[in-house]
Structure 1
Amino acid sequence: MKRVPHLKICGLRPGDDLSFLRHSVVSHIGVVMVPASRRNVSPDEAGQLVRAAKRIRPDVIAVAVVSGGLGEDVAEAARRAGVDVVQLHGGEPRDVAVRLREAGFRVWRAVAFDPGDDATSFLDVLRSHASSADAILLDAKPPANAEPGVTGGHGRAFDWDGLVEVAPALSFDWWVAGGITPENVRELLNRVQPVGIDVSSGVEVGGRKDVRRIEQLIQAMEAWGHESLSVS
């Protein structure tokens, strides 16, 4: 049986129903601390969400998504939010990641999946980022009309066929984000097996997290795991 990947439900906001945390497949939650994002929460609001989540699931890992800022500023905001991981989404320089790790945070680096015609150079870029991060999150490029600084959460999938070609060379922990839904998650997992998947808009209804959609996603992931067992 293939391992069902970790699942991060990202972009939580005050008032969201956290009852989905009873499902052990949900290993991570994410809060977005990017002022230009419609899912933006302040460090204090993030802290309230994180504390509420950890009361339900003390083992859940909390991730703060940031874009821009100096290492010291980001670390202070992350401390106020009470998160375990900082996800860099704005092409921050290497020293920001280094300072965050020195401050005791795990660091993820989001990278737009775009190998183009030179997969070797793209892999070199990923390895360079991975040397100062605990995981790489592969996401779709933002659309042309995206708000400046909002580099994720657009509900767009990238070229999963291209990911199939690149995946065997990925020797670090990597996650996939972008346009993942209950309806297509099995297609993704049939092609590649990342460490985890990161979902936001794919489990929303009316712009807010929907417990029923999250449960449908989990059911699809678990069904994929059982299919793997029957085939092997």
Structure 2
Amino acid sequence: MSNSSSPSTSTRVKICGLTRVVDVQAAIEAGADAVGFVFYPPSPRAVTAAHVATLISYVPPFVQAVGLFVNVGAHELQDILSHVSLDLLQFHGDETPEQCQQLGALTGKRWIKALQMKPDMNIQTEIKNYKDAGASGVLLDAWHPDLHGGTGHAFDWKRFPKPEDFDAPFALILAGGLTPENVAEAIEQTHAYAVDVSGGVEASKGIKDKQAIEKFVAQAKRPSQHAERWRH
């Protein structure tokens, strides 16, 4: 269903892979809507629950704290959530719709699912499956055979679904290879509800660049000529 009659709204921005207080503060000061923390030990941006508890203490109301998980077990997830208060869970592994639904019900948390844009994937069907399971949104990322996100590469934005591909609005998030230089163009092409960036605003893995964050958020939120948006 088209949202062409809906008023334009600013694209939401999530800065992910945060490991330092100064970077959390930079993201918030720049106007990010969400900050993300990676609970996946193999990642160079991985953090512990104890560390994130400190980082979240710098997150004000109305900015969401998002936890990124890859094939996490129920007990491990519950243990992490007993130490840190997250607003949203982001499942970035091979979790099925049923597994995501179960983890969401177990923890009482809203969740989104990241999908890698594999060449042979029926993206509309995959999105519908997770939507029907209770996802608050779906994040579309570049595909890599060995990495669960953080590839630094973009996929063909022409593959990004359009509102008319679905019978009701649903929040789709764009990720993969986004930078301050290309995010405005990416939004113009996809009309994404939100964008998610990590490596594109880093000085090195896990270490953010304050000026890059500021430029990225400003470019993502600049007025768009398109009024049509994905909305809840």
TM-score (ref. length: structure 1) = 0.84
Q: Distance in 1 between matches of 2:149 and 2:77?
A: 18
Task: Report if aligned partners of 2:30, 2:213 keep a CA contact under 8 Å in 1.
Answer: no
Write the distance in 2 (CA, Å) between the matches of 1:36 and 1:190: 34
Q: For 1:1-232, what aligned pairs fall within 5 Å after superposition? A: 2-17=8-23, 18-24=25-31, 26-53=32-59, 57-102=60-105, 103-114=107-118, 116=120, 121-132=122-133, 133-142=135-144, 144=145, 146=146, 150-163=147-160, 166-168=161-163, 169-170=165-166, 171-207=169-205, 208-223=207-222, 225=223, 228=225
Q: Which runs of 4+ in 1 moved over 6 A?
A: none
* Cα deviation digits, residues 39-66 of structure 1 (max 9, x gap): 000111122111222xxx2221011001
Shift in alpha-carbon separation, 1:59–1:79, aligned structure 2, 3 A:
farther
CA positional deviation for 1:101: 2.3
Which residue identity does 1:215 align to in structure 2? E
Alpha-carbon displacement from aligned partner over 1:55-101 (angstroms, at most 9, x marks no partner): xx222101100101222322331342211111011111334322332
**Shift in Å, 1:115:** 5.3
Q: Distance in 2 between matches of 1:49 and 1:98?
A: 27
- What is the alpha-carbon distance in structure 1 between the residues aligned to residue 182 and residue 218 of structure 2? 12
Distance 1:161 1:95, change over 3 A: closer
Post-superposition offset of 1:4: 1.9
What do you get for the CA RMSD once the two structures are aligned? 2.0
The 1-side partners of 2:11 and 2:119 are apart by 24
Distance 1:190 1:129, change over 3 A: same
Does the Cα contact within 8 Å between 1:100 and 1:106 map onto a contact in 2?
no
Equivalents in 2 of 1:94, 1:106: separation in Å? Answer: 13
SS of 1:80's partner is coil
CA distance in 1, matches of 2:43, 2:174: 20
**Which deviates the most, 90-99 or 178-187?**
90-99
The gaps in structure 1 that reach 5 residues or longer are: none
Corresponding residue pairs, total: 213
- Letter in structure 2 aligned against 1:214: I
1 or 2, which has the higher helix percentage? 1
Contact 1:182 1:220 in 2 (8 A): yes
Query: What is the distance in 2 between the residues matched to 1:172 and 1:20?
Result: 25
Distance 1:96 1:74 in 2: 13
Percent identity over the alignment is 28
Contact 2:26 2:213 in 1 (8 A): no
